[in-house]
Structure 1
Amino acid sequence: FVFCYTGKYCQQIPDTEIFAGDQFWYPYNSTNYVRIPPHFNCTYVISMSLATSAYMFPTLYLFHSYVIDGDFYNQTSVHRLIDFEHATPFVSTQNKITLVTFQTESYYATAAVLNPLSEAKQFNPLSSQASVNGEIDRVGLIPEGQDQEACQVLAVDSKTIIMTSVSLGSNVLSSCVAQVVTGPPNNSSQVLLDLTKAQGLMPFTFNLKYFTVIAQGCSFSFTIMSPEH
């Protein structure tokens, strides 16, 4: 395992310390620890999307960022992240993957978002959007037929996301699904807000680092921002 922290510092965890139940501190020298789960020793099938500001074109970030099958010292293969945007999921051959970027001039409001294929395959598509300090960004979801579409919203430098508006059509059918749910979209997600009934509640503040907006059977748009520091 390789873990990278803010400030471009990466730490390789020795193989002797990688076993189910072991714990390590993240960030380094903090009081927060993470425990390695019992089924960590597996290969990975992941889908990638990019959360970015509306004013930042992500091609350079993706072109100069890489996913390593393995770690820095034992590399089976190296791929550019741009190869996996809205394309075939990445399938590892080892039980370790490492992410690294050499794009030093990228706008700070950018994050590569990796989801297990089990989360991503239920949506067409699953995208991501950065919530940037003081910047209002509009997101539109237009699912096709009965497909589900979802957008993961991430606060880049905050723990607060404000949904400033939501816009649905005038004739919203009872079959319309327009929801904000906790975390990445999976079986543990809980509904935070039903957007079909939330237009009078805007602006609505979520004291969260990230959440997911899901659409099915109807199209709508919303705007989000995070407080300016």
Structure 2
Amino acid sequence: MVTGSTSGIGRATALRLARDGARVVVSGRDAGRGREVVQEIRDAGGSAEFVAADLRDARSAAELAAQAEAIAGLDGGSLDVLVNNAGVGAGGPTAGTEEAVFDAVMATNLKVPFYLVASIAPGMAARGRGAIVNVSTLAAARALPGLALYGAGKAAIEMLTASWAAEFGPAGVRVNAVRPGPTRTPGAEAGLGEMLQQLAAQAPLGFVADPEDVAATIAFLAGDESRFVTGAVLDVNGGRMVV
């Protein structure tokens, strides 16, 4: 299952995992876009189902997990991969940030992944296999003005990645994260505009990533080729962390 997979990095990840042979549960708030992603996967010969989900709290996370498990269980399958991608962006100075904004960002970006893992990882552990990939951000490791709230929530996800790797690893469940830099998604382009290229120019490679660049790394962490990798946070940011 890929959360927030109706656009951007999530959409690219769902398409990539389907192309690699996975049966994908696509989830998101927009049913129309969700059906489009599913149809694109099916037209390419893959298998996918859509589950509408407005992820805001523990209950919505548990409900989505139950639906995804039921879909995965059809024909004797199981939910072996969870990609925590759904997120709420927030930018601006700390002073003046409304409590409702704080709560919405932390609910979707931190609480929901926590309870999705709480609902799904035990089943993976019981089967002795599974891969969880959390989507973080460059702002979790680099102090970027105006992104204190967003970065803090994603930094917490990176800590959870390490904790979950230690907790579920002995049962065969791997937990990793990716840390994307500037990526050409609808949300990033709308929120950052020309600043997207300016941020990318600060890295050695100097260009804005496509969602498929991040999806390729997620697919690696979800697949058997990374069977000896857990607790890692892989930078997908053009080398921004080295300068």
Q: Normalising to structure 1: TM-score of the pair?
A: 0.31
More strand per residue: 1 or 2? Answer: 1
Q: Normalising to structure 2: TM-score of the pair?
A: 0.30
Q: Which has the larger radius of gyration?
A: 1
More helix per residue: 1 or 2? Answer: 2
